[in-house]
Chain A
Amino acid sequence: SAVISQKPSRDICQRGTSLTIQCQVDSQVTMMFWYRQQPGQSLTLIATANQGSEATYESGFVIDKFPISRPNLTFSTLTVSNMSPEDSSIYLCSVLQERGIGGELFFGEGSRLTVL
């Protein structure tokens, strides 16, 4: 199974600032995703991080607010820009490993952001 390292694991940020979250995988993976989990909520997909091209964003999420980089098959970053208290969430990096007819989605430990 893939081992995913995220950092920072948690941070307290000031309103209006930006923070970049890094995700490192111990093996090459084709599909990498960024999810958000707001307090008491389930996971919501922000975007698919595509290697060598622009990320694919889900409805309600835009590149200006959540720029994503994917320079190679083992690394990605998510930036939360111009933060407000509503951005306080856990941000999770995930990768898909195909297994036969299906696949398994592995998650990093998450980055817990608190915006004051």
Chain B
Amino acid sequence: GQNIDQPTEMTATEGAIVQINCTYQTSGFNGLFWYQQHAGEAPTFLSYNVLDGLEEKGRFSSFLSRSKGYSYLLLKELQMKDSASYLCAVRDPILTGGGNKLTFGTGTQLKVEL
């Protein structure tokens, strides 16, 4: 099984940088996803890390350390529209037959203030 931990909520200022952490304890691992979910809407894909290191996509970056069971999502130049829930999800290893199953964390509610 997978155990995924994220902070429940965070507050940051418009224009600033915020880092949302995610730690996981798993019996296997085949990648980590970050999703953004605005209230009342479906989750939308932000990033996917399967190798150690930093993946950058515009204002959003995601980092993974497999040895530490740790990832973070970095949001730069925060905008009010970035206020949303950010979900960390771990993909099961293919060898167990559940290679396409994602287990989601409880999400981090980010509030961006002026």
Residues of A bordering B, CB below 8 Å: 31, 33, 41-45, 48, 92, 96, 101-110
Q: Inter-chain contact count A-B, CB under 8 Å? A: 44
Given the interface pairs A101-B50, A102-B31, A105-B33, the reply to whether A44 lies near B42 with Cβ below 8 Å is no
Given the interface pairs A104-B48, A106-B45, A108-B42, the reply to whether A42 lies near B102 with Cβ below 8 Å is no
Contacts of B107 on A, CB cut-off 8 Å?
A: 42
Q: B89-114 interface mask toward A, CB cutoff 8 Å, 1 = contact, 0 = none?
A: 10100000000111111110000000
- Contact in complex: A31, B100 (CB < 8 Å): yes
Residues of B bordering A, CB below 8 Å: 31, 33, 41-45, 48, 50, 87, 89, 91, 100-107
Contacts of A42 on B, CB cut-off 8 Å?
A: 87, 104-107
Q: Which residue in B101, B102, B103, B106 is a CB contact (below 8 Å) of A41?
A: B106
- How far apart sit A44 and B44, CA to CA, in the bound complex (Å)? 16
Chain B residue with the shortest CB-CB distance to A35? B104
Return A93 CB to nearest CB of chain B, in Å. 9
Contacts of A44 on B, CB cut-off 8 Å?
A: 104
